Amino acid sequence: MAWDFETDPEFQEKLDWMEEFVSTKVEPLGLLGIHPYDVKNPRRNELVRPLQQEVKDKGLWACHLGPELGGQGYGQVKLGLMNEILGGATFAPIVFGCQAPDTGNAEIIAHYGTPEQKERYLEPLLDNQIVSAFSMTEPQGGSDPTNFVTRAELDGNHWKINGEKWFSTNGKWADFLIVMAVTDPDAPRHQRMSMFIVPVDTPGVEIMRNVGVYGQSDGSESYVRYTDVRVPADHLLGEQGGAFAISQTRLGGGRVHHAMRTVGNCRRLLDAMSRRAVSRKTRTGAIADYQSVQMQVADSYIELEQFKLFVLKTAWMIDKYHDYRKVRKDIAAIKALMPKVYHDIAHRCIHIHGSLGVSNEMPFVGSLIGSMVMGIADGPTEVHKVTVAKQHLRAYSDVADPMFPDYSLLERRARAKEMYAPVDELAAAVEAAE
């Protein structure tokens, strides 16, 4: 029987090194007013490149990738434990070569790109010489790709793209975008769209504005308009009509990584909450002595530990089956649970810090907004709950219970009496003989 919650000592040493490295060298970068994705900024590169080299020297660069692409090919459990450490440090993913959306975009090109696409786009992306954006959602369509209207039409040896995309993360820094567009409007709903590599400097690509999540002074969520944008026919990724399947493959592992980074964020919030509770004094003692505060700390610890174990179990299942479809229910479940756990712990942390907690001298309100982002990004919570329910109920597809089902107490008692009637009769006979 294999049922183990321990990390092997060799990998634990790597995690310990990461904890120290991230807290002492990487976290401070997020306080300097430099954006981690601004790869054209000399000052950013002066600070980031040496740290990236340290990570490479430790063999921890882009560990989600296989050795043929310069990574370790780690499974989701190891990646999950690493991402717990990276969560909460703004520059940590970029220093470790695992920043979204570049990781997912690199995965797409690695699996579906041509040799020419890999040479031109994948290699510099993996080396963080450039960054990319995933241009999928649309203003009128939200995250439901079946409502997208951006079109790509084959015109000679080029595709011509027209439409608008909303919240293309890091579009302002990107060298290229991966765009989902309708190519077969009359095909079945999930076979209408294709994916394309579109260099940002292609004529007709217009970043209308860069939107910020509330509280950010500078936005990088790009609102992009495509007007007669022509890209060569060989910039199609995978097969025509295959965008939906490609995007689902891209998002599966990413949701586990988001969840474990959320675990890391929540761990920091719980730590801050606990430190404040034992340090803040009232006339009768520390606020940690009050039962109401103890309840908040206890709830946060319990919810965090439950969530972490659920995420790691899901990661373990992915490693076991090597098939995201078999783990679809649990991936959807952790995605649905993530924003609630994050929100509740952030809210308690703010509350225990009082007026300081809501101020811009603390990062806690940013975490609260972050929890709301997690309830929207990669599909809204409601969509994932529907997926969980549908996947769960498939096991009951053949059930057709009568009005009074066989699990009623009346039915169960009747079956019990029938099963043990000979025993009851024997017992009665023995009792009568005595």
> For residue 288, what are the CA distances in angstroms to 293, 302, 352, 353?
6, 17, 10, 12
β-pair partners for 168: 222
* Residues in the chain with pLDDT values less than 50: none
- The contacts of residue 152 (CB under 8 Å, 6+ apart) are 159, 160, 161, 179, 181, 182, 183, 194, 196
pLDDT, residue 86, reads 96
Q: What is the pLDDT of residues 278-324, one digit of tens each?
A: 999 988 899 999 999 999 999 999 999 999 999 999 999 999 998 88
Which residues, at least 6 apart from 370, have a Cβ–Cβ distance to it below 8 Å? 265, 342, 346
**Residues with Cβ within 8 Å of residue 150, at least 6 apart in sequence:** 138, 161, 162, 163, 164, 165, 179, 180, 181, 182, 226
Q: Which two tokens stand for residue 1?
A: 């029987």
What is the β-pairing status of strands 193-199 and 281-282? Answer: unpaired
Six-digit token string for 270? 């719980």
Distance separating alpha carbons of residues 120 and 199, to the nearest angstrom = 11
Q: Where on the phi/psi map is residue 394: left (φ > 0), alpha (ψ -120 to 50), or beta?
A: alpha
* The pLDDT of residue 381: 95
CA distance 48 to 94: 8
For the range 302-306, what are the long-range contacts, defined as Cβ-Cβ under 8 Å and sequence gap of 24 or more? 303/341, 303/344, 303/345, 304/263, 304/266, 304/267, 304/270, 304/341, 304/345
**Sign of the alpha-carbon dihedral angle for 299, 304, 305, 306:** positive
Q: Judge if pTM exceeds 0.75.
A: yes
Contacts of 219 (CB under 8 A, 6+ apart): 209, 210, 211, 212, 213
Quote the CA–CA distance of 214 and 185 in Å, as a whole number. Answer: 36
CA neighbor of 329 nearest in space, from 344, 310, 343: 310
